[in-house]
Amino acid sequence: MKSGLAPKTVEEYIARTPEPARSTLKHIRAVIRSVVPKETTEVISYGIPMFKYRGMLVGYAAFKKHCSLFPTGSGVETFAKELKAYRTSKGTIQFPSAEPLPDGLLKKIVRHRIKENREWD
């Protein structure tokens, strides 16, 4: 993402992101929006776009050489087998800027996070 003042909105964050990552982030955002409850909000938290539903659900960001998904809770651990092809850490999934995570996998991760947040509520 381009440097400068921190973005105040998700739209501003995405608009500042150079291609091909911008298209990837738009796609990821659309897929996530397709499965979250209508009460879900989008915020900028820690400088990145996050979806919030009964707490933080999932965030995403663009970096110089990759994009990342930040599934809070057990989002990475639960899907470790399906994420073997990606670089992961406890709370991060990295993928190429021009290649978003597969839609089906992304939806499964988000649905899992929704379930976790409902259980904690």
The per-residue pLDDT for 73 is: 82
Q: Is 77:119 a contact under the CB 8 Å cutoff?
A: no
The per-residue pLDDT for 3 is: 55
In our burial notation (b when 16+ CB lie closer than 10 A, e otherwise), range 61-86 reads bbeeebbbbbbbbebbebbeeebeeb
pLDDT along the chain (121 residues), means of 10: 77 97 98 98 96 96 96 91 95 96 97 93 61
The per-residue pLDDT for 4 is: 66
Identify any residues that bridge with 44 across adjacent strands, giving them in sequence order. Answer: 49
**Which segments of the chain are extended strands (E)?**
41-45, 48-52, 56-62, 67-71, 87-89, 92-95
Domains of the chain: 10-113 (3.90.1150.200)
